[in-house]
Structures are given as C-alpha cells and as structure tokens.
Amino acid sequence: MAIIRSLPLEYGLQFIKRRSLFLVISACLMLGSVGLFFTQGLNFGVDFRGGILMEIRTEGPADLSALRARVSDLGLGEVTLQEFGEPTDVLINIERQAGEEAEQIKAIQMVREALGEGIEMRRQEFVGPKVGGELKQAGLLATVLALLGIAFYIWFRFEWHFSVAALVALIHDVIATVGFYAITQIEFNLATLAAVLTIAGYSINDTVVIFDRVRETLRKFKKVPLNEVLDRSINLTLSRTVLTSFTTLLALGALFFFGGEVIRGFTAGLIWGVVIGTYSSVALAVPLLSFMKLRRGNEEDEAASKGAAAKA
C-alpha cells in the first residue's frame, strides 16, 4: 500500500514556512506593549485608581472651557472634563479628597453648586483607593486564573504540547490588548477588563478548532512531515476562522458606532482582540507546535493498520 508523503493545501498558503517572521512580529508586538505599559501606562478609571466620577448633561452643546473654569478654582486637586458621547454630555473626574465619605460628598456638592443651574446630574460615583487597589489585584488574579484554567483544559483535551502553545498565544493576546489600551489611552476600568477576558475566550475558541483538525490530521497521516500537516490543518479551517471573525467584527462595529460612549471602550478592545486573536491562533499557536515533538499515534494503531492492510 502506497504511503502518502505530501498533502495538498486547501488554499496553497504556507504558514509554517513563514513561522520565523510571525514569531518576530509577535515578539515585537509583546515587547512594544510591555514598553508602553511601563512608560505611558494605562488610563485607569475610577474603578481602579479611586476618586469621584460625575456625569452631567447640559441644555445645549457643552462649553468645556467654561465648565472647567467654574470647577478649577474649588481647590479639589486634579479635575478633568471630557465630552462623553453626545455634545451635551460631559464626564468629570475628580481626584479622591483627603478624609472619609463626608469629604467626598462635600466635594460633589461644591461641584454641583459651581456648575450652576441648567445642569442635569446623570451619574455620580465614588471609589476609595483601598477598593481600587483590591479591584486591581482581583482583576489580575482573575486574568491569571482564566489563562491557567484554559491551559489545563487544553492539556486535558489534547496534550501538554498543545497546552503550552495555546498558553503562549493567550498571553500574547492579553499583553497586546493591554498595549492597545496603553497606546490609545482608552479608560481602563472593570468593563475593559471584562473585554480582556472575553478576548481570551474568543481566541482559544479559534485555537481549539484548529488544534482539533491538527490532531485529526496527525492520526490520519502519520508519515507526512509535521509542517505539512500543520499547514493543511490551518488551510482546512481558514475559511471558518476568517468568516467567524468577520461576522463578529460586523456586530462589534455596530456596537462601537451606535452603542454609545459607555460601551465604546469595551467594544474597541474587543475589535482589537478579535483581530489579534485570529492572528495568534493561525500564525502563532499552530506554528509553535512545529517546534515540539507531537505524538503521531501509538504502536498499537500502526500495528492495527498494518494488519488491516495485510488482510485486504
């Protein structure tokens, strides 16, 4: 019985051949993201840094200069104002005041009096520094546990080689997403942290689909070179991967442009995450398998196949 030693590619795309290029791109992306995090930092929201958040609505288009002049002389420390979605909506961030809750309430009242009549108070929040620090630790712990949980699942579902490749790709996606928030300075709060965890879940879904095809092809073609098996597995799942990402981006695009300012940071992160997650599944997770010694089937499987061929 003839042994198949090469496989035709569905789209003729050779990803494994360019694995060095992909690894360099991914390394640069991760290093750049880490550099941005330590130099520029994240624009932490009130959830993490603590302070007072007020959302107001004016009767007409807001005059930020005039509003800023009214509150800048109150002696409340750093106060920032920014347009929030509609021209009539303004977000006011005030640093935490020294003292307990009474001092924070007093600062809010001072701002309301300084703004004057014709201002609708839509939202006001206060988060203490202790709570903000606890939320940072909880968020970091949630991210680490999510990544480890996914890695253990891949180990159980496939092999440890697949688990290592998937974990590296997920860490790449998370770091790249943090870099995205650092360079854009989109507010990083609990909602955007949820976006980071959602990206990890989306990315691993694509990766598992390709890994499943890799395992199936490995068992079917034990004598074919590993790089050809990996290339064919990517090609066979490429249309599914691209179409799934495309339709997801359509939905996220609608949310980004028409969902309002409240969820814009969340959806922006998801849009970036879908793109980077699709890239890492195809160009990072699977190429990493080419450096590992994957099992191609046990001896019993080979003996059984030889016996069946002899009887035929």
Q: Which of 4-18, 82-96, 260-274 has the highest mean pLDDT?
A: 260-274
Tell me the backbone φ, ψ of residue 82, rounded to 5 degrees: -150, 145
Using DSSP, state whether 10 is helix, strand or coil.
coil
Tens of pLDDT, residues 111-169: 887 777 778 888 877 766 566 667 778 778 888 888 888 888 888 887 888 888 888 98
pLDDT at 300: 42
Q: Are the CB atoms for 234 and 305 separated by under 8 Å?
A: no
Q: Are the CB atoms for 108 and 124 separated by under 8 Å?
A: yes
pLDDT at 226: 80
pLDDT at 8: 52
Beta bridge pairs of residue 82: 91
Lowest mean pLDDT among 72-86, 219-233, 257-271: 72-86
Q: Which residues contact 94 (CB under 8 A, 6 or more apart)?
A: 51, 52, 53, 54, 76, 77, 78, 79, 107, 111
* Residue 296 tokens, joined: 């191609």
How far does the chain reach from its first CA to its final CA, in angstroms? 10
Lowest mean pLDDT among 53-62, 233-242, 279-288: 53-62
Q: Distance between CA 226 and CA 223 in Å, rounded?
A: 9
Greater model confidence, 269 or 59: 269
Residue count (the chain): 312
pLDDT at 38: 92
> 34 burial class (0-12, 13-18, 19+ CB within 10 angstroms)?
middle
% residues pLDDT > 90 (the chain): 14
What sign does the dihedral 182-185-186-191 (CA atoms) show?
positive
pLDDT at position 85 over 80: no
Q: Are the CB atoms for 90 and 83 separated by under 8 Å?
A: yes
pLDDT at 191: 81
pLDDT at position 260 over 80: no
Average pLDDT, integer, range 29-33:
93
What angle do the packed helices 190-220 and 226-258 form, to 10 degrees? 150
pLDDT at position 204 over 50: yes
pLDDT at 274: 92
- Does the pTM surpass 0.75? The reply is no
Q: Distance between CA 207 and CA 278 in Å, rounded?
A: 8
Q: Distance between CA 294 and CA 218 in Å, rounded?
A: 9
- Mean pLDDT over the full length of the chain: 79
pLDDT at 29: 92
- Domains in the chain with CATH codes: 16-43+131-302 (1.20.1640.10), 51-127 (3.30.70.3400)
pLDDT at 76: 73
pLDDT at position 57 over 60: yes
Q: How confident is the model at residue 308 (pLDDT cuts 50, 70, 90)?
A: very low
